[in-house]
Structure 1
Amino acid sequence: MRGAFFGLLAAAGTFLFVDLREMSLARAALPGHDPMTTDAPVLPPALTDGVPQAPPVEPEASREVLRQAMRFELLPGGQLKAEGSIDPGAADRFAEEIAARGEYVKEVSLNSPGGSVDDALAMSALIREQGLSTRVAAKSLCASSCPLIFAGGVAREAEENAILGVHQVFNAGQERPSPEQAMSAAQSTTARITRHLGEMGIGEGLWMHALETPPDRLYYLTPKEMVEYKLITAPQAAAKQAD
């Protein structure tokens, strides 16, 4: 497994990765563009055994809600809801929210189609530093780079019918990078993600599914896989879902 993983890591140089920071800054300069939204697909079809399939359930939130820039709402019981696309700057706003209300926050509830990898990694690191838990509620979505945030929780729970998915990261900027630039950037980003997931205690096989799945598709994780890769810390509940 380890040999196959590092083989895929090396091959990741052939993939183009998302740099939403560059994309958002470039598009923000265009007339009529709203920099607080993202054009990233909200719910691509799944890729399971090479065949696109529908998600396990439809997300409860509308696409319009999910496309908006990530916003934060403190709910009863110390739950901080983080909903929307992970736009460049989301990590800074999250840090401000934790600085202002951190003493009340016990858990971060995620509902996001993903977005900026840099911001996702920064949010995940802060969650772990603060000793917070993470959760994906029933019919909530945590896709693309969102599982990187989820991985930061000291305790991680995906409720029944939670939707978690991963795929390749890619460059959606205005200019197409050279093959050499794409290879260097993809390998660097993949290495950062792999190192982070390892530090968070997540099984290395999880990101293999991302590397194998085109960026316009999602690989939806089953409850059994979430247990196998240690993505969640409530295996008994997940195993019950898988039965």
Structure 2
Amino acid sequence: MRGAFFGLLAAAGAFLFVDIREMSLENASLPGHDPMITDAPVLPPALTDGVPQAPPVEPESAPEVLRQPMRFDLQPGGLLKAEGSIDLGAADRFAAEIAARGEYVKAVSLNSPGGSVEDALAMSKLIREKGLDTRVATKALCASSCPLVFAGGVAREAAENAILGVHQVFNGNGDQRPSPEQAMSEAQRTTARIARHLDEMGIADGLWIHALETPPDRLYYLTPQEMADFKLVTTPVATAKKTVKK
């Protein structure tokens, strides 16, 4: 599996992996452009045998809530709720929050449609550095680059009916259109960085293969069994349910 995975990495440069939300964010300087307002759905249809299908459940939060820049709310029990799009600068705000109140934070609860890959990776690394856990609550969303943040948790828990999905990503280049050679090089570099990060976090290779196979206007929604098989969660959903009930 590992050999096939790195073979796929080598071929990845033939495609332009674009995270739609991140491109919107990086084009924020264009006149009249609001990076948090887009015609693209917050929750894209699933890609199953090439046929778009609906997500497993509808997210509890409204689209306008999820499209807002990520904000942080420290809740009882040391749970820091991170909700909204991972906009450019979200990692800096997250680091400031941890610096100010990190001694009280035990876990990060995510509810995000994704966004900036760079910020997601930075947040994930800080979460692991601080020894924090990560969670996705019932009917909360963690899609696109958000699972990269989720992967940083020492213990990772997705509740029943949590929505986790992955697709192709690429670090956009603002309003500058890259040449085919630049796009190929950047796609390979970004893919390798994400793959290395997931490996360092203890996530199995197959998760990112599903991301590479799924266009950016679709999501590969992960089943509870896949989350466990790919080691994306450390607590099976059934066990997580029992823990919540106690």
Aligned counterparts, 1:192-203, within 5 A: 192-203=193-204
CA distance in 1, matches of 2:89, 2:98: 14
Say if 1:88 and 1:233 are closer, same or farther in 2 by CA, change over 3 A: same
Tell me the residue number matched to 2:27.
26
**Percent of matched pairs sharing the same residue:** 77
CA distance in 2, matches of 1:55, 1:18: 21
**1:220 equivalenced with 2:208 (yes/no):** no
Tell me the residue number matched to 1:130.
130
| One-letter amino acid matched to 2:201 | M
**1:157 equivalenced with 2:157 (yes/no):** yes
CA contact (8 A) 2:160 2:237 kept: no
Say if 1:236 and 1:138 are closer, same or farther in 2 by CA, change over 3 A: closer
**1:54 equivalenced with 2:54 (yes/no):** yes
Aligned counterparts, 1:1-243, within 5 A: 1-18=1-18, 23-31=24-32, 33-34=33-34, 37=36, 39=38, 41-170=41-170, 171=172, 173-235=174-236, 237=238
In structure 1, runs of 5+ residues without a counterpart are none
Say if 1:25 and 1:209 are closer, same or farther in 2 by CA, change over 3 A: closer
CA distance in 1, matches of 2:173, 2:115: 11
| One-letter amino acid matched to 1:57 | V
Say if 1:185 and 1:238 are closer, same or farther in 2 by CA, change over 3 A: farther
RMSD of aligned Cα (Å): 2.1
| One-letter amino acid matched to 2:28 | R
CA displacement, residues 76-117 of structure 1 (integer Å, 9 cap, x when unaligned)? 111000000000000000000000010110000000000000
The secondary structure found in structure 2 opposite 1:186 is helix
Say if 1:152 and 1:214 are closer, same or farther in 2 by CA, change over 3 A: same
CA displacement, residues 20-72 of structure 1 (integer Å, 9 cap, x when unaligned)? 667535333413x345x253641110112322111000000011000100000
Larger mean Cα displacement after TM superposition, 179-188 or 166-175:
166-175
CA distance in 2, matches of 1:157, 1:240: 10
CA distance in 2, matches of 1:165, 1:156: 15
Say if 1:100 and 1:2 are closer, same or farther in 2 by CA, change over 3 A: same
CA distance in 1, matches of 2:128, 2:93: 17
Q: Tell me by how many angstroms 1:236 deviates.
A: 6.3
In structure 2, runs of 5+ residues without a counterpart are none
CA contact (8 A) 2:160 2:241 kept: no
CA contact (8 A) 1:18 1:117 kept: no
CA contact (8 A) 2:228 2:234 kept: yes
Say if 1:116 and 1:236 are closer, same or farther in 2 by CA, change over 3 A: closer
CA contact (8 A) 2:25 2:116 kept: no
Q: Tell me by how many angstroms 1:209 deviates.
A: 0.2
- Normalising by structure 1, what TM-score? 0.92
CA distance in 2, matches of 1:87, 1:238: 33
The secondary structure found in structure 1 opposite 2:186 is helix
The secondary structure found in structure 2 opposite 1:27 is coil
Query: How many residue pairs were aligned?
Result: 239
- Normalising by structure 2, what TM-score? 0.91
The secondary structure found in structure 1 opposite 2:80 is strand
